[in-house]
Amino acid sequence: MRTKNVVGRYGEDLAARYLSSHGFAVLERNWRCELGEIDIVAREGDALVICEVKTRRGLNYGSPLESITYRKLTRLRKLAGRWLQSHELRPASIRIDIIAVLFDQNTAPTVDHVRGAA
């Protein structure tokens, strides 16, 4: 498995544990369709939460949050709609959250959760 894939999987695992420990119910991970992939689909109360997870091993290429573009947010909104079409859930609300995971070999990982990014 490529290093990028290992790092991404590690970040998604941390993000899922973070969400669960903060009262979210993780419904699905790595859901795919022809439009792309949703990293984590979760529920917080009556809200459906589409989570994009960005993981970095340092700040050489900027923070994980800096990699989220308008184009990516637009795609996540379309993916949320497609996910709802393929499931029987009718949530009271839907939001897109970003979870940024930053780690290196010398420090414990940090998780930054941005609610309602789009």
Q: What is the CATH number of the domain that holds 77?
A: 3.40.1350.10
pTM of the model: 0.90
Q: Token digits for 4? A: 């990028």
Whether pLDDT at 64 is above 60: yes
What pLDDT is recorded for position 3? 67
Question: What band does 49 get if pLDDT is binned at 50, 70 and 90?
Answer: very high
Whether pLDDT at 81 is above 90: yes
Q: Give a three-class secondary structure readout of the chain.
A: CCHHHHHHHHHHHHHHHHHHHCCCEEEEEEEEECCEEEEEEEEECCEEEEEEEEEECCCCCCCHHHHCCHHHHHHHHHHHHHHHHCCCCCCCEEEEEEEEEEEECCEEEEEEEECCCC
What pLDDT is recorded for position 82? 95
Whether pLDDT at 75 is above 60: yes
What pLDDT is recorded for position 105? 74
What is the residue range of 53's domain?
3-114
> Looking at the 3D structure of the chain, how many domains does it have?
1
